[in-house]
Amino acid sequence: AAVAMETDDAGNRLRFQLELEFVQCLANPNYLNFLAQRGYFKDKAFVNYLKYLLYWKEPEYAKYLKYPQCLHML
């Protein structure tokens, strides 16, 4: 059971880091342009993922952002 908890904790940390990095990439206009040119914003699954990421606007998560302007783009 302890090994499973450690695996879950490691997985949660990795997910947190990946989502944090992705959200902060949204502060880069060149990256937004890249996504737009490739039609990501027309992909319903991608748009739903962006909606899911809105939790980063909550203060307990937003405090980890280096580039808070990414929240405006989100």
Q: Where are the domains of the chain?
A: 1-73
pLDDT at residue 16, rounded to an integer: 95
Name the pTM for this structure.
Answer: 0.84
Residue 3 has pLDDT above 90, yes or no: no
Give the angle subtended at the CA of 69 by the CAs of 51 and 40, to the nearest 5°.
40
Fold of the CATH domain 1-73: Arc Repressor Mutant, subunit A (1.10.10)
Model confidence pLDDT, tens digit, residues 22-59: 999 999 999 999 999 999 999 999 999 999 999 999 99
Residue 2 has pLDDT above 60, yes or no: no
Burial classification of residue 32, based on how many CB atoms lie within 10 Å of its CB (0-12 exposed, 13-18 middle, 19 or more buried): middle
